[in-house]
Chains A and B, each alone.
Chain A
Amino acid sequence: MTTNVPAVDVHGAAAEARPKNFINWSSGFMSWAGTLDHKRIGLMYLVGVSIAFLCGGLFALLVRLHLWEPNGALFSNAQYNQIFTLHGAFMVFIFVIPAIPGSLGNIILPLMLGAKDVALPRLNLLSFYLWLTGAVLATLAIVLGGFDTGWTFYTPYSLYTNQAVVTIGLAVFVLGFSSIFTGLNFIVTTHKLRAPGMTWFRMPLFVWALYATSLLQVLATPVLGITVLLVAFERLYHIGIFDPRLGGDPVLFEHFFWFYSHPAVYIMVLPAFGIISELVSVHSRKPLFGYKLIAFSSLAIAIISFLVWGHHMFTSGQSTYAMFAFSFLTFFVAIPTAIKEFSWVATVWKGSIALNSPMLYTLAFLVIFAIGGLTGVILGALNVDIHLHDTYFVVAHFHYVMMGSIALAFFAGVHHWWPKMFGVIYNETLAKIACGIIFIGFNTTFIPQFIMGSRGMPRRYATYVPEYAPFHQASTIGVIILAVGIALMVYYLVASLFQRKKAMENQWGGVTLEWLAPTPPPLENFNEPPVVTNEVYDYSTLDLQTMRTPVK
């Protein structure tokens, strides 16, 4: 497993003999647009989801600026409805769901397994183009009149509103299949392309997390597909199953929708858990506490997530008995999730902690996710939820999970693997400052939302009574701080590509297989097919020589 980098060979070689990596081995538009290389596809995803994130973020900024004044500062109510819907739809379907599997998963998963590529490279490229098609269709829907249903497309409103619901429905359908194919590919890759000696319990936890995610993507997403298709059919030829005028039942829509969309929450968060599991270990230079527990808890979360969707429907008119069951089952999600949080904290404890910028993002995650997770338990309680349902408390809760936890874990992963992907290192000082700004901005945005939510401020409203103004204004100030932090982050990351300050071959001292491949990896990843002989996260095998060798 310890492959020393043959640093001597290169000294004699001419300058242009610099080893070719996956970025520079060929050039031209088609070498990227038609590539089957998992790293190039992952990189294209990374660019794509980052743009989607910035678009979604811009919409969020507009929403918050509008809410500076009780009567709304910027838009008409109808425009406001469209903009918060755009924020939700872009963030959920185009950013959060594909973000980590599509970009970091694609690049890192085969490397971690010691494989040359994902098992089905063509399907991988198709998956990217489906994502692109979905993103284009969603943007087209804005041009075709926008959509104001919220990202959940609740019937019957989505059947009556005179807007581009069919187009955005089609976009979601296509994005769904993009997600399915990514998941399918990862499952096959994990089963069939592990390096010799890479047993299931030697797989890094990022792989375990992506595997559990993939199961959800494959098993839950088709139901979303048929649901949005049925909504489109309702609008086109009035099937009537979701339309109460025609004898249908809107609650049935909610069952269908949340059968997917609750597991989808874990499609979003499980890869984030995987990243954090890697990072706490590497930056504490310590094997993970409770490796198997974390691995199994990912699977447990995946399975339990199919049993709790009704907690989104506590005020929708479903049967009281169903609500009892769903509320009761919801609490079970807390068990595997808490196992993870405790294991991460136990890993950091007495570790040799290096406060590198990825680790700072990770620590920020640990704090924010604890708040996001615990408020979830509060909302899972049926009686409390009846009060808090559709208030800003819920908004704050899921932003603590989706923005504070998932996006921060995504940032952490990008910082962690940035030197691996590009062979360059960003400005660490700026990175630490940006992390601090983001952490402060995020909490300033959402803590006021917890408070006003618990006092009854409903979500999605374009206007509000003046009593809530201080909270809304604090929240808006927070989002501006957050935007500054993210802008700074984008700046130094992009700048690092031009400054070309060389990273080390193994920047942080990781021992999973991706750090044994050359940096950046060549086309088929490894010079020699790796054979695994050590247990995972065994830092006694760490090759300090490689850590101190700059990238060629």
Chain B
Amino acid sequence: MGHHHVSSSAMFFNVLVALLILTGITVGTSRIDFGAANMMIAMAIASVKASLVMAFFMHLKWDTAINKIIFLSSFLFLSLLFIFTFADHATRRMDTQWHVTKAPVDKQWVHPSQLVGK
């Protein structure tokens, strides 16, 4: 079947050791409070671990360009979901004075299930 890359056992073992050490570091850093950076640090370490798995265990390092693009673009498109959703949430409270209506509410809110069948 030609040119497929066969990785050495030693390389796989080194990656495993690195992953286990990074797991230890994940636990270790979680004991220390870095404030707002906590999440960033945890996700950075996890990303390094994930990159190791992808590059070596999943052979992505030696795979075709199109396969790399496809898999990595899934993270890119996922980030769009994250960015816009969180942008909405983060700015939702900033603008209440813009569209709060001062008109009196004349009807009481009714649970939707009570409207069915009427």
Contact = CB atoms under 8 A, between A and B. Distances in A.
A161 B87 CA distance: 31
B117 A161 contact: no
Interface string B69-94: 00001100100110011011111111
A116 interface: no
B13 interface: no
B36 interface: no
Contacts of A325: 84, 87
Contacts of A255: 81, 84-85, 88
A219 B74 CA distance: 7
Interface in A209-224: 219-220, 223
A166 to B, nearest CB: 16
Given A320-B98, A325-B87, A157 B112 contact: yes
A265 interface: no
Contact of B118 (A77, A259, A322): A77
B95 interface: yes
A76 B118 CA distance: 8
Contacts of B1: none
Main secondary structure of the interface of B (DSSP, over half): helix
Contacts of B95: 319-321
A76 B112 contact: no
Contacts of A76: 117
A78 B77 contact: no
A84 to B, nearest CB: 14
Contacts of A309: 84
B14 interface: no
B108 interface: no
A319 B87 CA distance: 8
Contact of A318 (B77, B81, B92): B92
Contacts of B91: 319-322
B105 interface: no
A322 B112 contact: no
Interface in A69-88: 76-78, 81
A160 B73 CA distance: 37
12 contacts: A81-B116, A161-B116, A219-B74, A251-B88, A255-B81, A255-B88, A310-B88, A319-B89, A320-B99, A321-B87, A321-B91, A322-B87
Given A76-B117, A319-B89, 5 more contacts: A156-B112, A162-B113, A162-B116, A191-B66, A307-B80
Interface of A: 76-78, 81, 148, 156-157, 160-162, 191, 219-220, 223, 251-252, 255-256, 259, 306-307, 309-310, 317-322, 325-326
